[in-house]
Copies of this chain bind each other. A is one copy, B any other.
Amino acid sequence: MNADDLDKTKKTPAFQMVIVHLRNQIRSGKLAAHAALPSERAIAEQFGISRMTARRALLAVEMEGLAYSSGRRGRFVSPQRVAYDISKTVSLSALIGQDGPGLTIKVISQQMAQADAALSAKLAVPEGEVLYKYIRVFLLQDHPAFVEEEYAIASLFPGLFDHNLQQSTTVLMEREYNVPPHSGDITIRMRALNEQEAGLLNLPTYNAGIELEQVIYGPDGKPFCFGRQIWRGELAEFTAHAIVRR
């Protein structure tokens, strides 16, 4: 079946032809992971369409998760998705950091903060409670995967910022402060990135991503840490094994 066959019946939108073409190139392996896709202008010329239409196709391929854009550098083929098992609250760094390198953590900011209404509810502390707040970007193979904003109850972890934050904080908290993670409440949703997140993830503003929020509880059943991760949507998938509660 070629394009003309479709044209006879319904008229296939031009941008869809480009999508099909790119999809094939990627799926067949002619374009390997992290290889550069043709530019908007190149596609426009090659297919005899306008640049805006080529752009539309490329954005669709991005949304499919087959490609990712990297600022004004170009678009590239996505690597395989990372499967993140949320049944183990232990952070990603513990999961990947050991198998091999490839995981880099960039600390964007670290400061003290006070619990607002939302945080006080989630962490079961009074409003105004002193918290550590830090923002980090996690990169897989030098490719930004997600931004994490985390809050930890300060009184439980004196001198937390004296440690290197380029590692799993749950592991750190367990090893240095004897506060092991025991359970977690997790929420996953899809939402658009704000400007800061988009900048850190090298994405155009208002791209959609997946948000994973988690409150981490200790063995005593009390929460000690709240985190919010925004993932590039094409990069992750979250798995869980659930027992039906009645």
Interface residues of A in 228-246 (CB under 8 A from B): 233-234, 236-245
User: Which of B19, B90, B206 has a CB less than 8 Å from the CB of A64?
Assistant: B206
Asked whether B237 lies within 8 Å of A189 as measured between CB atoms, the reply is: yes
Q: Return the chain B residue nearest A214 by Cβ.
A: B242
Q: Is the CB–CB distance between B89 and A244 below 8 Å? A: yes
Name the CB-closest residue of B to A184. Answer: B242
Give the number of copies in the complex. Answer: 2
Q: Which residues of B contact A88 (CB under 8 A)?
A: 242, 244-245
Closest to A236 in B: B189
A139 within 8 A of B: no
Smallest CB separation, A58 vs chain B (Å): 11
Q: In the assembled complex, which residues on chain B have CB atoms less than 8 Å from the CB atom of A90?
A: 244
> Which B residues are in CB contact (< 8 Å) with A243?
87, 182-183
Q: In angstroms, how far is the closest chain B Cβ from the Cβ of A241?
A: 6
Q: Tell me the chain A residues, 167-197 only, with Cβ under 8 Å from chain B.
A: 180-192
Contact with B along A207-221 (1 / 0, CB 8 A): 111100000000000
How many of A's residues come within 8 Å of B, CB to CB?
Answer: 44
A231 to nearest B CB, angstroms? 8
Closest Cβ of chain B to A132, distance in Å, is 21
Residue pair A191, B64 in contact (C-beta under 8 Å): yes
A41 at interface by CB-CB < 8 Å? no
Contacts of A208 in B (CB 8 A): 63, 190, 208, 233
Does A60 have its Cβ within 8 Å of any Cβ on chain B?
yes
Q: Which of B89, B234, B244 contacts A184 (CB 8 A)?
A: B244
Q: Which of B187, B191, B206 contacts A19 (CB 8 A)?
A: B206
Q: Is A65 an interface residue (CB 8 A)?
A: yes
The smallest C-beta distance from A81 to any residue of chain B, in angstroms, reads 7
Q: Are A242 and B64 in contact (CB under 8 A)?
A: no
Contacts of A181 in B (CB 8 A): 244
Q: Does A36 contact B (CB under 8 A)?
A: no
Interface presence of A86 (CB below 8 A)? yes
Q: When the two chains form their complex, are residues B244 and A185 in contact, meaning their CB atoms are under 8 A apart?
A: no
Interface residue ranges, A against B (CB under 8 Å): 16, 19, 60, 63-65, 81, 83, 86-90, 180-192, 205-210, 233-234, 236-245
- Apart from A63-B192, A63-B207: 8 A-B pairs, beta carbons within 8 A: A19-B206, A60-B192, A63-B206, A64-B206, A87-B242, A87-B243, A183-B243, A210-B210
